[in-house]
Amino acid sequence: MNKNKKGFTLVELMIVITVIAILATIGVMSFTRVQKQARDTKRKGDLRALYTALQAYYTENQFSYPATLGTLTPTYMPSAPTDPISAQSYAYNYGTYSYALCANTETGGASYWVVSTKNAGGYTSNTCPTAE
């Protein structure tokens, strides 16, 4: 037999392919997690912007909140925010003297990020609370 043959054995090729597949899987999983966190950060920022617009409206309109989010545009904010994944607007609830703005989150364990009259900083919750 000729011992000067150059090349890779089938076992060596299978090991290299397996290592590449494992590294690619880890990379895709990390990338997906980072994308979810980025979308949640955008949702939280949008809810804080809504909070600011609602507070400005409240101050300028005899201490009352608007009936719909559309009332805030374009005077208090350029456009109504939408979810980064779907074109659906955020869930928001108004009451006589308060509001609760909720966004579904993809990370962090809880289902919603909530910004409300009582908590401008926002908090996580398993439910979207109703306004008082």
Output the six-digit token pair for 124: 């996580």
**DSSP conformation class of 89:** B
DSSP H helices, 6-78, are 10-60
What pTM does this model have?
Answer: 0.67
Residue 47: what pLDDT? 84
Q: Which amino acid belongs to residue 107?
A: T
20 has pLDDT over 90: yes
Mean pLDDT of 24-32: 87
Q: Which residue has the higher pLDDT, 91 or 5?
A: 5
SS3 70: helix
Residue 81: what pLDDT? 82
Q: Which amino acid belongs to residue 46?
A: D
Radius of gyration of the chain (CA): 25
